[in-house]
Amino acid sequence: MSEIELHRKLLGDAPRNRAFFDALSRVIRPGESTVLDIGAGTGFLSFLARRLGAKQCTLIEYADTIELAEALARANRIDGLQFLRAHSAEVRRKLAADIVVTETLGNFALEEGFLETAIDARRFLKPGGVILPSRLRQFAAPVVSDRLQRDIDIWPRVGYDLDLSAAREISLNNMYVRSIGADDVGGEPFIQCWDDLDLRPQCPAPPSKRTRVLRWSADETGLQLHGFALWWEAELIPGIVLKTSPHAPPTHWEQIYLPLLRDVTLEPADDVELELTCDTRPDVGVRLVWKTIHRRGRRVIAEQRQDSLRGQL
């Protein structure tokens, strides 16, 4: 995807734009607040901040869009801006801001280095400063519709008497960006939070590698699982939250589908366990491991382990 196409989608997302506008309007003290905009892109959030009365905004962006941001600022006669072409982690000059905003969220929330960027940005905050978003929570739910799995797992249907199992193995070790609807996942009781990152500067920095185990039990009618859905909620400030849930109004972000190697059919009183390990250390990039265990009482019926690293080809 080209940079301008990415930003076309971003700026066309009215709920996103309104949420950031409302959050900035709540934290900016007109004539006083300074803002640091990390991953500034076209400069849109800094333009909003200046229109809301921010004293000065510093825009950090490593892509060519920093030049576009400067051109857009001139076209809109927006001053009080400082432009830095760099990755924020590489910036060594002294910067001090009252507010740091970093909209570096992906469909899989952490795929653009959001966590590491937000934690590193604490060094730029003045005492008592705030960061937007201030909290990120990620959710998971079993996918009970076979629609997504059928769309992805084409390998057994190719035919011509070919064994494509090696290709299938690689394919099903990937995270897929898909539009997942409320009808595709189990109901609200099946939704579980698997990651809760408090990014406020007074809180301990979350590690880049974390593991969480989730468990679901079948009801009296049983349950068939084809994969798992992931999505996130970003709390910009208390009371203003961006959601990519299948149950929420759509944004330009979609959800993540984690396929299974084999469907899991739960009989009444069976359990399924999902162990998620997320690793976004800079030397790793983005790696997600999902391990699924089907249990009947204390007995393990089946186990499968998938790793996004194995899906790279």
Segment 228-268, tens digit of pLDDT: 999 999 999 999 999 999 999 999 999 999 999 999 999 99
**Model confidence at 2: pLDDT above 90:** no
The yes or no reply on domain 3-103 and CATH 3.40.50.150 is yes
Q: With bands split at pLDDT 50, 70 and 90, how would you rate the model's confidence at 1?
A: low
Q: How far is CA 71 from CA 47, 66, 86, 88, in A?
A: 12, 9, 18, 21
For residue 170, what pLDDT is reported?
98
Whether the Cβ atoms of residue 29 and residue 54 lie closer than 8 Å to each other = no
Whether the Cβ atoms of residue 290 and residue 274 lie closer than 8 Å to each other = yes
Is 220 or 134 the better-scoring residue by pLDDT? 134
Three-state secondary structure call for residue 49: helix
Q: Where are the domains of the chain?
A: 3-103, 136-307
**Model confidence at 196: pLDDT above 90:** yes
- Mean pLDDT value across residues 19-47: 98
For residue 129, what pLDDT is reported?
97
Alpha-carbon distance of 18 to 108, in angstroms, equals 21
- Mean pLDDT value across residues 137-154: 98
44-53, 92-101, 135-144, 211-220: the lowest-pLDDT one: 211-220
Task: For residue 114, give the amino acid letter.
Answer: F
- H helical segments located in the chain: 3-11, 14-27, 44-51, 65-75, 114-120, 147-152, 165-171
Question: What count of Cα atoms within 13 Å lies in the side-chain half-sphere of residue 171?
Answer: 13
**Model confidence at 68: pLDDT above 90:** yes
Alpha-carbon distance of 200 to 119, in angstroms, equals 9
CATH topology of domain 136-307: Hnrnp arginine n-methyltransferase1 (2.70.160)
> Burial level of 139, CB count in 10 A (0-12/13-18/19+)?
buried
For residue 221, what pLDDT is reported?
74
For residue 293, what pLDDT is reported?
98
For residue 187, what pLDDT is reported?
85
**Model confidence at 23: pLDDT above 70:** yes
**Model confidence at 29: pLDDT above 70:** yes
For residue 84, what pLDDT is reported?
97
Q: How far is CA 16 from CA 28, 60, 180, 306, in A?
A: 18, 20, 19, 32
Q: In angstroms, how far is the first alpha carbon of the chain from the final one? A: 19
**Model confidence at 220: pLDDT above 80:** no
